Structure 1
Amino acid sequence: MSQARQSDSTKTSVKKTPAPPLSPPKHKTLLRLLSYLKPYWWALMLTVVGFAINAGTEIWIAKLLQYITDAINQNNQSKQDLFPFIIIALFFVRGVGSFLGNYYTALVSRNLVYELRVQVFNKLLRLPSSFYLANPAGTISSKLIFDVEQVTAASTDSLKTLLRDGLTVLALMGFLLYSNWRLTLILFLVLPPILWLIRIASRRYLKLSKGIQETMGDVSHITNEVIGGYQVVKNYGGQAYEAKRFDATSKKNLRQGMKVVVTNSINTPAVQLLMAIAMAVVVWLALRPAVIDNISAGEFISYIAAAGLLSKPVRSLTDVNQKLQKGIAAGESIFALIDEPEEEDTGKLNPALSGAIHLENVSLVYPDSTVALQNFNLDIRAGETVALVGRSGAGKSSLVNLLTRTLTTSSGKITMDGMPIEDITLESLRSQIAMVNQQVVLFNTTVFNNIAYGGLAQKTQAEVELAAKDAFAHDFIMKMPHGYQSEIGAEGLQLSGGQRQRLSIARALLKDAPILILDEATSALDNESEYFIQQALDNVMKNRTTLVIAHRLTTIESADRIAVMNGGQIVEIGTHSELMQKQGHYAQMYERDFE
């Protein structure tokens, strides 16, 4: 029966996988990223002030060389005695400016990561189940962890470089123009080829950055699979296969990363070479007597020093392009997730349900034309227990997904207590349906928090203990080191399969919902565990409408009715004895599977 569920899940993913959206223009992604910085305008202002101070000190370093040279030439001892103090003061001011700039850009950067990460996580909580079926867990977690961190490269990191080094370049260029505008104009001649190089490189950076993100998603996905399925990997000797798979994906990531390095390693030296050519021409001209006429030795050295100081900030401004394109690619990935359509809730009613369920001519057809349910009709009375049996792919799990509105019908209607299921709010509907699955989901927290989970968090200790007793879980819980406050580890792996299942049943009991769905709740358990769990299920099924996806014989036999499904329809329905007398589908299944 687990194969049935897998089949249904696979089809669900086929149904909901959206066509890949077109990437938005780069400038729109960048502007959207920068919009997150608006609340921190005051920090950005302090950043500008800090880096402006830093840029100003670059000019004074060049100017100081002029004063020192002229003082030496004039043998002015009084001025020379002041220079050590001026140097200390200059670098103190420079340090203050650098601190202001670096601190407040880091403040903005970390807050941006925090806000984006929280927004993405909250979005994940509101997305429909189909999104998770269509996207591997590793890819999703990579967006939350890797892509969000990369986004800072496009916003705050790039902004920091642009402000710090951009202001420095502007300050130095202003100083050079003031000192000798004719020589300085030569530096502007290399500007067009530099911009052309940056444009070519930016296209390649963006393409490569997207490739890096995709491969990081694959790396994360494989890692999650191996961690989650480590027992299967070990038991079936899959270490070599998984190592090979991980190595191949990691090499893809490595190749993409090295292509970025190669592009940057060519682009940056090329820009620096153009700057060096311009500087060489400037120096050559500066040494001509006609050009440096009426300029003191100190002014000449100051000019050359300022021109030399341009090299580092220009190189940094060239490198910022790589960060910018990397961040824009990450931003596109994150915003694509943020813009995913959320789970639609058309309901407006919040009724207290008794558990009467009516399905009339319900059909569910997937885009690939696979029919999960076809003209399905079933009337379940409040408090009745109905078991669903059938071969894998008969549509049992699809039916359950329709009742929780994980899926929507292609045609037909479903009502609960006479109300169309679409008119009931998702919160109200799901709060009144308890589920116990074969695959138990537990969290890395205490026993108490796992039973009183989510909307049940306000339940008292006494209510939790009563639910655990009815689920035959209280005794083993009390034997744990800290009782109900004992940590159970990731996915509850410190507990046995039967113990985990009993915690799941305790959670369902505590929910006290009028509708209960049991999806192979005792499958693959040892006899002792099955005995306790069957006793617990008898408790949880009392006075509730119960839908049982066929598992063990005892639950099926005691059901009020058994519906035999085949090809998305009910082919037989009745009690165990009635169906056995018919000697039809159910009798054949009983003899083949249960005896």
Structure 2
Amino acid sequence: MKQIINDLYPYLKRYRKDYLIGIFSLVISAYFTTLAPAIIGQTIDALKNGDLNNQNVWLYVSKIVGAIAISSIAMILVRRTMLAASWEIQFDIRRDVFKHFSKLDADYFDRNRVGDMLTRLTADLNAVRMLFGPAIFQGISISLMMIFSFYRMFKINAALSLITLISVPLVTFVLFMLMRIVHKRYLKSQEQFSNISAMSQENFSGIRVVKGFGIEDREIHKFSVLNDEFIKRNLFLTRAEGPIHSLMDLIFGVILSLLVLLGGRYVLKGGNLSIGEFSAFILLYQRLQWPMIGLGWIANLFQRGSTSWNRLKEILETEPAISNDENTNYDLASIKGDIEFKNVSLEFNGQKVLDDLSFTLPEGQSLGITGKTGSGKTMIISLLSRIIEPSSGEILINGIDIKEYPLELLRRKIGLVPQEPYLFSDTIADNIAYGIPDGDNQAKVEEVAKIVQLSDDIKDFPEGYKTSLGERGVTLSGGQRQRTAMARAIIRDPEILILDDALSAVDTQTESLILSNLAEVAKNRTSIIIAHRLSAFKNTDKVLVLDFGKIVEQGSHEELLEKDGWYADIDRRQQLEKDLENA
């Protein structure tokens, strides 16, 4: 618990004033809450002794009402300070976790399921809020109630007060034993909830695949199995949490019976305990029942909150493999686009993906990269944008190692169109303008849409550029998604433009028109085109042919055709396919 307090103290410190006001209000509330039974006891004694009359009865009533009113007002203030602060802290943690997510490498998101991450940002974060808010608020309130109650009870009768203290170690022992079990079972329950969230998210995202294969029943069965296991684990958790209140009630019932038995004898024998004092004592003890029963609930909140915080902490303590470090030169403010790979190799699990790769791409020129599937083409792009790091060798831009460039600058200056473009559930105009500052960008959006041959398609959409795309852009065809992603890259006016097989889903005629328009866009701009269709390289200054991570051929389009190697053979095959299609 001490470690959790240390972890969360920076968040608590920001709202120190709210918590101090809340604690002061809790003191006021506890004092006047326990004062009301004492006043009721005095009223009963006054009635028994015949001292109660029409004149002073209103004084007693006003004292009781006043004590309860002050206590209630103080409690309202608590809720507007401490509980409000707990919501603010939840927002702060959510923002920090989301910010940290944005710094993590793509590999982290490949290894972790989206559903699990969403569960941590929702259910786990809410459990942490309950720790900050109700748990702390009720924990302090219960402690103060016990202090003031026992103070007043000991003033009334020390012997009876000692009997009530018997319940404290009993309650503490029961809670300690049960909470150890609750912690383990709650963790297992949350893990299963993450599994359900992950499967739901994957099914919703891939609903077209599920329906396309007609396997809805199988997915429903899988979900039912996960859900049944979740219910099983929650019932297992409930069996540990369930006895808490019942055991508390039993303990309090036994203690109350002893108090009535012994206290009643004190009163009947005319001892030093009046009926009013005894009534006040019983009322105070009954007021203690909720605080002591509440200890179980508070302990449960602390247990759940600490478990959930540790799950969130796992995220916050995950360090990105690639980040700005001591080698970063923050004085670098621009990138021109002169690229050089020097003896670059890349290995995964001992297997070489790129092997001693060396090439240069002067500023303003274009480079084509092709080769068999799995030859390492996309890895070159991932290395250039520092999505991954090379196992050996250097990558230079303008003669400077890319590790010296701030990551934000490097990636901002590269316009990348990936193999599998991701579109947001927004309008097509906002998707295209995603990478540029907010403002009146409509003219720019329409201009780049024409460049990528998308403007005619958009005219046929129900609301034109304001047409809302479904999640991941499912309302568009594959070619339309690729062209939208291409427009999004071009509109940023990057120093380095990269198309990673970005024309694979468009027909050859559209490809020809796009490449013709791109020739003007790419003028005086460093550009890299990865493709399987060799027609994409007719206007590039240089083409690399990769095989098993090595450059096996290089030169211009015409030079490679003259060499009559793999490149020329593929070109002949593609020309034959094209002739057959035209026929």
TM-score past 0.5 threshold:
yes
Offset from partner CA, 1:362-390 (integer Å, 9 cap, x none): 11112x21211111122223333332222
Query: Which residue does 2:371 correspond to in 1?
Result: 390
Structure 1 runs, 4 residues or longer, greater than 6 Å off: none
Report the CA distance between 1:161 and its aligned residue. 1.1
Distance in 2 separating the partners of 1:248 and 1:533: 49
Tell me if 1:145 matches 2:122.
yes
Amino acid across the alignment from 1:333: R
Question: What does residue range 231-242 of structure 1 map to in structure 2 within 5 Å?
Answer: 231-242=208-219
Query: Which residue does 1:15 correspond to in 2?
Result: none
Structure 2 contact 490–497 (Cα < 8 Å) conserved: no
264-273 or 405-414, which deviates more: 264-273
Question: What does residue range 94-243 of structure 1 map to in structure 2 within 5 Å?
Answer: 94-243=71-220
Report the CA distance between 1:241 and its aligned residue. 2.6
Query: Which residue does 2:310 correspond to in 1?
Result: 332
Query: Which residue does 1:364 correspond to in 2?
Result: 346
Offset from partner CA, 1:65-92 (integer Å, 9 cap, x none): 3234223323433244555544443433
Query: Which residue does 1:18 correspond to in 2?
Result: none
Distance in 1 separating the partners of 2:521 and 2:419: 16
Report the CA distance between 1:506 and its aligned residue. 2.0
| Residues 108 and 292 of structure 1, relative CA distance in 2, 3 Å threshold | farther
Query: Which residue does 1:377 correspond to in 2?
Result: 358
Distance in 2 separating the partners of 1:354 and 1:81: 87
291-300 or 102-111, which deviates more: 291-300
Offset from partner CA, 1:277-296 (integer Å, 9 cap, x none): 33333332223349861221
Unaligned runs of 5+ in 2: 578-583
Query: Which residue does 1:41 correspond to in 2?
Result: 16
Distance in 2 separating the partners of 1:222 and 1:145: 16
Question: What does residue range 553-564 of structure 1 map to in structure 2 within 5 Å?
Answer: 553-564=534-545
Tell me if 1:306 matches 2:281.
no
Amino acid across the alignment from 2:139: L
Q: Secondary structure at the match of 1:517?
A: strand
Query: Which residue does 2:412 correspond to in 1?
Result: 431
Distance in 2 separating the partners of 1:479 and 1:522: 22
Distance in 1 separating the partners of 2:190 and 2:518: 46
Q: Secondary structure at the match of 2:380?
A: helix
Offset from partner CA, 1:510-536 (integer Å, 9 cap, x none): 222232211111223456754654444
Structure 1 contact 468–506 (Cα < 8 Å) conserved: yes
Query: Which residue does 1:566 correspond to in 2?
Result: 547
Report the CA distance between 1:269 and its aligned residue. 2.5
Structure 2 contact 82–137 (Cα < 8 Å) conserved: yes
Amino acid across the alignment from 2:38: K
Offset from partner CA, 1:76-114 (integer Å, 9 cap, x none): 332445555444434333321221222222211111111
Tell me if 1:28 matches 2:7.
no
Structure 2 contact 185–233 (Cα < 8 Å) conserved: yes
Tell me if 1:53 matches 2:2.
no
Q: Which protein has greater RCO, CA pairs closer than 8 Å, 6+ apart? A: 1
| Residues 87 and 481 of structure 1, relative CA distance in 2, 3 Å threshold | farther
32-41 or 150-159, which deviates more: 32-41
Offset from partner CA, 1:248-282 (integer Å, 9 cap, x none): 33333333322332111123322443333333333
Q: Percent identity?
A: 27
* TM-score, structure 1 normalization: 0.87
Report the CA distance between 1:400 and its aligned residue. 1.0
Report the CA distance between 1:461 and its aligned residue. 4.3
Distance in 2 separating the partners of 1:272 and 1:28: 33
Structure 2 contact 40–64 (Cα < 8 Å) conserved: no
397-406 or 161-170, which deviates more: 161-170
| Residues 292 and 447 of structure 1, relative CA distance in 2, 3 Å threshold | farther
Report the CA distance between 1:551 and its aligned residue. 3.2
Amino acid across the alignment from 2:345: S
Q: Secondary structure at the match of 2:319?
A: coil
Query: Which residue does 1:355 correspond to in 2?
Result: 337
Structure 1 contact 359–377 (Cα < 8 Å) conserved: yes
| Residues 177 and 377 of structure 1, relative CA distance in 2, 3 Å threshold | same
Tell me if 1:65 matches 2:68.
no
Structure 2 contact 451–514 (Cα < 8 Å) conserved: no
Report the CA distance between 1:440 and its aligned residue. 2.0
| Residues 70 and 517 of structure 1, relative CA distance in 2, 3 Å threshold | same
Query: Which residue does 1:344 correspond to in 2?
Result: 323
* TM-score, structure 2 normalization: 0.89
Choose which of 221, 246, 271 in structure 2 pairs with 1:244.
Answer: 221
Query: Aligned residue pairs: how many?
Result: 569
Report the CA distance between 1:351 and its aligned residue. 5.9
Distance in 2 separating the partners of 1:29 and 1:292: 53
295-304 or 313-322, which deviates more: 295-304
